[in-house]
Amino acid sequence: MECVLGLVGKGFAIVAADTSAVHSILLHKNNEDKIMLLDSHKLIAASGEPGDRPSVKNPYSVNILMAGYDNESGASLYYIDYIATLHKVDKGAFGYGSYLSLSTMDRHYRSDMSVEEAIELVDKCILEIRSRLVVAPPNFVIKIVDKDGARDYAWRQSLQDVTTAAV
């Protein structure tokens, strides 16, 4: 039920991921940041088994979108699946949300997009996932990497942190 997506624009790369920590039919946490900072100009957005995702175990079963920025080649995005297939892509997605977000990106993506246009496209993907996926994750985190480095851009929340009542 995870959703990870990313795209490359003019001088930047954006990655977004849902923030749900789920096991079977239970939601354990709705504010898990699945996008990790590798260094000042690299991000990885991971989907996969919860125990494998935050710490790279051997063997591990995760799918990764890696976004980065280099002064010589600019922004880039790499698609790495759980069997180590690696492709440089302009846009990509993993998880159930990929069925909806990839078609949305196919229709609206342009390689010369500004940050604002790219965020608008990411928001379209999130809206499509929330409105059409039966078990849609409520919250997403969006991060960006460009010449100024990797950083948080925004959180898209439709469900705030929930605490359970004492029984």
Helix-, strand-, coil-residue percentages of the chain, each rounded to 5: 15, 45, 40
Q: What are the pLDDT digits (tens) for 56-90?
A: 576 668 899 999 999 999 999 999 998 989 999 99
Give CA–CA dist 148/131, Å, rounded: 34
Q: What are the pLDDT digits (tens) for 106-125?
A: 999 999 999 999 999 999 99
Global pTM exceeds 0.75:
yes
- Domain of 57, CATH number, reads 3.60.20.10
Q: How many domains is the chain partitioned into structurally?
A: 1
Identify the domain containing residue 161 by its residue range.
3-165
